[in-house]
Structure 1
Amino acid sequence: MITRVRLPHRHLTPPAKPGPPREPPQRPGAPPPTPWRRWVLPLLFATLAIIVLLARAPTGPPHTQLAYSDFVNKVGASQVQKVDIDDKGAVSGTLTDGTRFTTRIPTALGTGQLQQQLQSHHVQITASQGGRGSPLISVLLGFLPFLLLIGFFLWTARRTASSLTGGLSAIGRSRAKIIEAERPTTRFDDIAGYGGVKQEISEVVDYLRSPARYAAAGAKGPRGVIMVGPPGTGKTLLARAVAGEADVPFLSVTGSAFVEMFVGVGASRVRDLFDDARKRAPSIIFIDEIDAVGSRRSGVRLGGNDEREQTLNQLLAEMDGFDESTGIVVLAATNRPEALDPALLRPGRFDRQVTVPLPNQAERAAILAVHARGKVLAPDVDLDAVARATPGFSGADLANLVNEAAINAVRADRSIIGAEDLDAARDRVLLGRRETSNALLPDERRSVAVHESGHALVAALCEHADPVAKVTILPSGMALGVTEQLPEAERHLYSEGYLTDLLAVRLGGRAAELVVFGEGSTGAANDLAGATQIATRMVREFGLSPELGPIGYASSNPQYLGQNTEDLLARPPYSEQTQRVVDEEVARLLRQAEQRALALLTDHRAALDQLAELLVARETVDGSAVLEVLRQEQRPDDAHSSGAAPRAARL
């Protein structure tokens, strides 16, 4: 059960304005095939079909179909002139008046009596084999499968020859999209926030526009600029704005476009890409997700023969090889800077590393305003309040938030987005879909209410804890209940007091269960895991353990796409004795936090019961209800007995 939401760090920038569709100019390739060649195979099949139809088509005047009994009667009346009987009992002939007819002899009757009757009436009798048609047609039909097989092999041979001449040569060509005439409509002014990032990126455009200004001061333009940051922070959007702002050709390609199953193809595409850039210089090359081709080379072998390493080596050589005066700038983006090869990041290749971080509160408000364009917002919507409630959201997350709010409004048959829609959308993004059908049992409902009340009261009673925004016992996603806290201001440093209060709030739900029911439950599993992780970092990384001292065993740099699996398998950088001390200190911090939460809730047992009953009745309350419960319970001697004043008394 998720009992306290620490909003994750994520980020994004506003979407580009829709522009007219554009088609990049086609690269010169192999000459197109002769127009008549594409019609050879269809004409061959059409000719064979016509031959078959002609072979099966009847010849001469139309035949009259007679029943066998009518045929016998006409023979008896001497009205039949001649007949032709094949070995399968099919009869065709001519009457005395010239009419042609067909019939069939029943096999059960035999032909002996019919033969005597025909001879007695002087009917001319002939015999033939089953099937009719020209001998030439029969021969062609017999050889038809072989003709089709020969035609298929000839067609395959022509296709193979074509691939060997033009196809394989095209594999080594660059797959970059070249933007010259029709440019994206996105500009730097369309991107909310990121003033410093836009300034560093815009200097690349300014250098290509007027290189004389930099030459006058003796400055050299950057060879390469790499943008790093979490997913969704707008790195590709910034590159699109560069393509819209620059008056030079813009060549865009992804890192995965260089990697193929054929050895040497990636290096060939890199050479072709830079050749195109030199022909169009001054120009900009944008490589998105460069970690797909620029990852670290293996140190096991002396010299790499791997296709990826060959591609990287060619990229390094090309970035060193082109003349600075040509005005070629390489722009790249990645979510995993730790995976890039150090040789790729050194000055002279990528001179600048621009970090595109998650937006702060002011930038989130500006991004929300961009995504709210074209939507009708209710008067009660405060984008600043929404920005404060979404710390750690990226631009992509904010775009998804506004879209989910619009969907929620449509679901309620409204075209105006209200504050409740944005709140429901935020819960949907963070916690998952609300499970209205997942009804709790009465004792479970009471237990969840007590658990969440413990979190909320401990957060309200701790001096450094973030204020409580909302408490709910409605199941959402994997959470049976949630206590949401929103920081009053975005923090960049966390004091020891804040971290110890955070541990107490994490264990407040378990402490409330112990106070009210005398035993814990499985609902605190997520709280215990989160509290253990925080306490471990306090001891290992932050030096907040008196027993271990000012020693930090920090993990590797933050991974934007998650923790590095190699770090999980690596041996800890300390001895087993130190590990034992770390475990003991983590356990001590958690025990102290639990004891503190138990003391606070025991001293405010009346407020705990009252808030739990309020949650059972209303299911969802805001932070003001928590403070009101504490105000009603507060007595003049409460602050002295508990040692902590509620947040309401400190305001």
Structure 2
Amino acid sequence: MIARSRFPARHPTGRAKPGPPPDPPKPASTAPPPNWRRWLLPVAIAVTMLFVLLTRTPSGTGTRYTYTDFTGRVNAGQVKTVEITDKGAVSGTLKDGTKFTTQIPTALDSSGLTRQLQSQQVEITAKTTSGSSALTTLLVFLPLIAIVGLFLWSGRMATRAMSGGLSAVGRSRAKIIEAERPNTRFADVAGYQGVKQEVSEVVDFLRSPERYAAAGAKGPRGVIMVGPPGTGKTLLARAVAGEAEVPFLSVTGSAFVEMFVGVGASRVRDLFEEARKRAPSIIFIDEIDAVGARRGGGARLGGNDEREQTLNQLLAEMDGFDQSTGIVVLAATNRPDALDPALLRPGRFDRQVTVPLPNQGERAAILAVHAHGKTLAEDVELDRIARGTPGFSGADLANLVNEAAINAVRAERTVITADDLDTARDRILLGRREPSNALLPEERRAVAVHESGHALMAALCEHADPVAKVTILPAGVSLGATEQLPEAERHLYSQGYLQDLLTVQLGGRAAELVVFGEGSSGAANDLANATVVATRMVREFGLSTTLGPVGYAAGTPQYLGENLDDRLRRPYSEQTQRTVDEEVARLLRQAEKRAIDLLRAYRRHLDELAGLLMAQETVDGKVVLAILGAEPPPTPLGKPAEHSRVPD
């Protein structure tokens, strides 16, 4: 399906991949600490608070008087005895037996108070507090004692942890699956018969090595699965774990990388040691590019010594273990271009299995797997959905079915209809549809004319894919879309198909030029996509009469996207680049002129389809064909010459 939108439509590539199940909990190797240790900290806090309260308790007990009240009672003859400290603290008793305390302001002259007390015949006792008591000394050194105790306790805990934990730093973090195996089997993986056959031979070799020995065949040391994200590489590994009757050790490439030099290499050694103890066994390393990337050598500055040491140890282990032990290494990556060549040579990874995006039949089978347990309406045709989802990975298809189920729940239904699946597909390709995102009347007409141009070009061009639906409902960043469903799965594209593709992509801009006499920003995404197609026609496919049969293919696989280094290291001169730019512009101008001529010849049909879109907002592809009727399409520029088919 090809979506023509006024603005770029995003096509997410799902990376959600089910991982191996968690290991069963292991019994503790050390005895639990005694229960009394948990009370150490509360007791220490309580003792500290007690000492603080004791230091804040004033000397003596009784009613607290202000200095003014105290002198007033002395003058009234109510005070019997007083005890005065060198800090001015006063405690005593009244003649009625009441005890009291007060404080003499030390800044005042206390001689007058002394004469006053003597005149009233009050018994005076002096007390000195300058001496250092044991409690005061303890309180002074209490913070230091607490800090020293904390350091001693932390040191003991660290020593205990280091004795059992430091040796575990270099231990492998692999999940060992022995008794509780995953429930996934090869029958649960839809499609990919060739991939399953190559991977299943690994399981068969470990189960019956004598069959291969009788024929003089040796089992593979390693199998690496390469493919786009979301195609099911980890799912295949889970199926291997479910099918194999041998221990399965699963680990990710990032689990080997640490900030300490040598830790990764130690974990590699421990991983293969665990596999040898359980041989025959399978080691699965997911995202191996995290540890197996190309080594920089001495010419590169700032090399990652830890990663390179880990890779060297992995190379040594894979090349060094005895094949008779029955250890097979499975690995998965979506970046094969980043792997070190020494890792991919025979003897280490003997097989490189490509897990591509599923074809139409495999997509239908994958949809059936994800639709299991869900109630589908009678109008749901999985083959039609598979035909309309080219380029979808297994994760994308799972997301499609889940989004359709969410749409059904949103409508308070338990049955998933074909409209739910179509809405979910539009949601993934174009984005969420906002009912509040209303267009202005002039914008609404411009979008209708734009999408009508795409639809008419798709119906009039001989090699273009048929129109499935045309809509002017905004979704995500797209203000409208023209969807095409290919009649069959294409693997090779002729020059006629590519030229028709350019004409369809520029049909929206051509319709604006025919109706309004000027273009708009709505064709930005169309121009970008058409430029990419035209550039590949000239630079890679050799479909330029000026440049000739010369191809400069991209250095990275297409599912990885364009690499910036490939753009910077072009294997041709600036003059060739100028020729490429001129040829790309010529192809685009030729496609635009062809679209304008066709739309001028079918101007009445263009206006009719645009008016219908403004009235109904969404039009089926059959309506587009009905508007055109049985008139044969004209070819103003002549029928494009059919060239030999070339791979995309």
TM-score bin (small chain): 0.7 to 0.9
Does the C-alpha gap of structure 1 residues 27 and 599 become closer, same or farther in structure 2, counting only changes over 3 Å? farther
Match of 1:181 among 175, 179, 182: 179
> 2:531 corresponds to which letter in structure 1?
T
Aligned-partner Cα distance in 1 for 2:523–2:463: 22
Aligned-partner Cα distance in 2 for 1:369–1:586: 42
* Residue 385 (structure 2) aligns with: 386
Q: Deviations over 1:182-219 (max 9, x none)?
A: 22222222222222222222221222222222223322
1:11–1:393 contact (8 Å) kept in structure 2: no
2:594–2:637 contact (8 Å) kept in structure 1: no
Does residue 422 of structure 1 match 2:425? no
Q: C-alpha displacement at 1:389, in angstroms?
A: 1.8
Task: Classify the secondary structure of the residue corresponding to 1:84.
Answer: strand
Does the C-alpha gap of structure 1 residues 74 and 484 become closer, same or farther in structure 2, counting only changes over 3 Å? same
Does the C-alpha gap of structure 1 residues 66 and 435 become closer, same or farther in structure 2, counting only changes over 3 Å? same
* Residue 216 (structure 1) aligns with: 214
* Residue 190 (structure 1) aligns with: 188
* Residue 296 (structure 1) aligns with: 294
Deviates further, 381-390 or 257-266: 381-390
Q: Deviations over 1:531-560 (max 9, x none)?
A: 121112112211222232222222224153
Deviates further, 483-492 or 621-630: 621-630
Q: C-alpha displacement at 1:604, in angstroms?
A: 0.6
Aligned-partner Cα distance in 1 for 2:139–2:258: 46
* Residue 150 (structure 1) aligns with: 148
Aligned-partner Cα distance in 1 for 2:596–2:512: 10
Q: C-alpha displacement at 1:244, in angstroms?
A: 2.1
Aligned-partner Cα distance in 1 for 2:267–2:94: 81
Counterparts of 1:161-176 in structure 2 under 5 Å?
161=159, 165-176=163-174
Does the C-alpha gap of structure 1 residues 26 and 281 become closer, same or farther in structure 2, counting only changes over 3 Å? farther
Does the C-alpha gap of structure 1 residues 528 and 128 become closer, same or farther in structure 2, counting only changes over 3 Å? farther
Does the C-alpha gap of structure 1 residues 461 and 283 become closer, same or farther in structure 2, counting only changes over 3 Å? same
Deviates further, 337-346 or 63-72: 63-72
2:400–2:424 contact (8 Å) kept in structure 1: yes
Does the C-alpha gap of structure 1 residues 89 and 185 become closer, same or farther in structure 2, counting only changes over 3 Å? farther
* Residue 282 (structure 1) aligns with: 280
> 2:187 corresponds to which letter in structure 1?
D
* Residue 620 (structure 1) aligns with: 618
Counterparts of 1:631-642 in structure 2 under 5 Å?
631=629, 639=633
Q: C-alpha displacement at 1:403, in angstroms?
A: 2.4
> Which residues of structure 2 form unaligned runs of 5+?
640-648
Q: Deviations over 1:491-527 (max 9, x none)?
A: 1111111111101001101111111111112221221
Task: Classify the secondary structure of the residue corresponding to 2:184.
Answer: coil
Deviates further, 323-332 or 614-623: 614-623
Does the C-alpha gap of structure 1 residues 385 and 87 become closer, same or farther in structure 2, counting only changes over 3 Å? farther
Task: Classify the secondary structure of the residue corresponding to 2:81.
Answer: strand
Task: Classify the secondary structure of the residue corresponding to 2:476.
Answer: coil
Q: C-alpha displacement at 1:459, in angstroms?
A: 0.4
* Residue 542 (structure 1) aligns with: 541
1:225–1:351 contact (8 Å) kept in structure 2: yes
Aligned-partner Cα distance in 1 for 2:442–2:599: 21
1:10–1:392 contact (8 Å) kept in structure 2: no
Aligned-partner Cα distance in 1 for 2:102–2:491: 100
Does the C-alpha gap of structure 1 residues 121 and 396 become closer, same or farther in structure 2, counting only changes over 3 Å? same
Does the C-alpha gap of structure 1 residues 55 and 435 become closer, same or farther in structure 2, counting only changes over 3 Å? same
Task: Classify the secondary structure of the residue corresponding to 1:545.
Answer: coil
Counterparts of 1:203-242 in structure 2 under 5 Å?
203-242=201-240
* Residue 137 (structure 2) aligns with: 139
Counterparts of 1:533-572 in structure 2 under 5 Å?
533-570=532-569, 572=570
Does the C-alpha gap of structure 1 residues 369 and 26 become closer, same or farther in structure 2, counting only changes over 3 Å? farther
Q: C-alpha displacement at 1:402, in angstroms?
A: 2.3
Q: C-alpha displacement at 1:317, in angstroms?
A: 0.8
Match of 1:600 among 578, 598, 601: 598
Does residue 472 of structure 1 match 2:471? yes
Aligned-partner Cα distance in 1 for 2:577–2:628: 42
1:5–1:484 contact (8 Å) kept in structure 2: no
> 1:203 corresponds to which letter in structure 2?
E
Q: C-alpha displacement at 1:577, in angstroms?
A: 3.5
2:556–2:563 contact (8 Å) kept in structure 1: no
Aligned-partner Cα distance in 1 for 2:453–2:395: 34
Aligned-partner Cα distance in 2 for 1:202–1:329: 12
Does residue 524 of structure 1 match 2:531? no
Does residue 334 of structure 1 match 2:362? no
Question: What is the RMSD computed on CA atoms of the aligned residues?
Answer: 3.6
* Residue 344 (structure 1) aligns with: 343
Q: C-alpha displacement at 1:318, in angstroms?
A: 0.5
Q: C-alpha displacement at 1:180, in angstroms?
A: 1.8
> 1:560 corresponds to which letter in structure 2?
Y
Aligned-partner Cα distance in 1 for 2:364–2:409: 23
* Residue 44 (structure 2) aligns with: 45
> 2:485 corresponds to which letter in structure 1?
L
1:13–1:234 contact (8 Å) kept in structure 2: no
Match of 1:586 among 571, 584, 595: 584
Calculate percent identity across the aligned residue pairs: 70
Aligned-partner Cα distance in 2 for 1:27–1:318: 31
Q: Deviations over 1:475-501 (max 9, x none)?
A: 222222211111111111111111111
Does the C-alpha gap of structure 1 residues 233 and 438 become closer, same or farther in structure 2, counting only changes over 3 Å? same
Does the C-alpha gap of structure 1 residues 323 and 115 become closer, same or farther in structure 2, counting only changes over 3 Å? same
How many aligned positions are there? 635
Q: C-alpha displacement at 1:3, in angstroms?
A: 4.7
Aligned-partner Cα distance in 1 for 2:240–2:182: 9
1:466–1:487 contact (8 Å) kept in structure 2: yes
2:6–2:524 contact (8 Å) kept in structure 1: no
Aligned-partner Cα distance in 1 for 2:433–2:112: 89
Deviates further, 263-272 or 89-98: 89-98
Q: Provide TM-score, normalisation by structure 2.
A: 0.88
* Residue 5 (structure 2) aligns with: 2
Does the C-alpha gap of structure 1 residues 57 and 486 become closer, same or farther in structure 2, counting only changes over 3 Å? same
* Residue 609 (structure 1) aligns with: 607
Does the C-alpha gap of structure 1 residues 161 and 37 become closer, same or farther in structure 2, counting only changes over 3 Å? farther
> 2:136 corresponds to which letter in structure 1?
S
Deviates further, 106-115 or 596-605: 106-115
* Residue 91 (structure 2) aligns with: 92
1:536–1:586 contact (8 Å) kept in structure 2: yes
Q: C-alpha displacement at 1:356, in angstroms?
A: 1.2
Q: C-alpha displacement at 1:353, in angstroms?
A: 1.3
1:336–1:559 contact (8 Å) kept in structure 2: no
Aligned-partner Cα distance in 1 for 2:377–2:92: 92
Deviates further, 58-67 or 352-361: 58-67
* Residue 573 (structure 1) aligns with: 571
1:9–1:393 contact (8 Å) kept in structure 2: no
Task: Classify the secondary structure of the residue corresponding to 1:381.
Answer: coil
2:360–2:390 contact (8 Å) kept in structure 1: yes
Does the C-alpha gap of structure 1 residues 453 and 90 become closer, same or farther in structure 2, counting only changes over 3 Å? farther
Q: C-alpha displacement at 1:374, in angstroms?
A: 4.0
Q: C-alpha displacement at 1:584, in angstroms?
A: 2.7
Does the C-alpha gap of structure 1 residues 125 and 417 become closer, same or farther in structure 2, counting only changes over 3 Å? farther
Task: Classify the secondary structure of the residue corresponding to 1:560.
Answer: helix
* Residue 358 (structure 2) aligns with: 359
* Residue 646 (structure 2) aligns with: none
1:255–1:287 contact (8 Å) kept in structure 2: yes
> 1:354 corresponds to which letter in structure 2?
V
Task: Classify the secondary structure of the residue corresponding to 2:560.
Answer: coil
* Residue 24 (structure 2) aligns with: 23
Deviates further, 359-368 or 249-258: 359-368
> 1:274 corresponds to which letter in structure 2?
F
Does the C-alpha gap of structure 1 residues 410 and 620 become closer, same or farther in structure 2, counting only changes over 3 Å? same
Task: Classify the secondary structure of the residue corresponding to 2:82.
Answer: strand
2:84–2:125 contact (8 Å) kept in structure 1: yes
Task: Classify the secondary structure of the residue corresponding to 2:559.
Answer: coil
> 2:143 corresponds to which letter in structure 1?
P
1:55–1:134 contact (8 Å) kept in structure 2: no
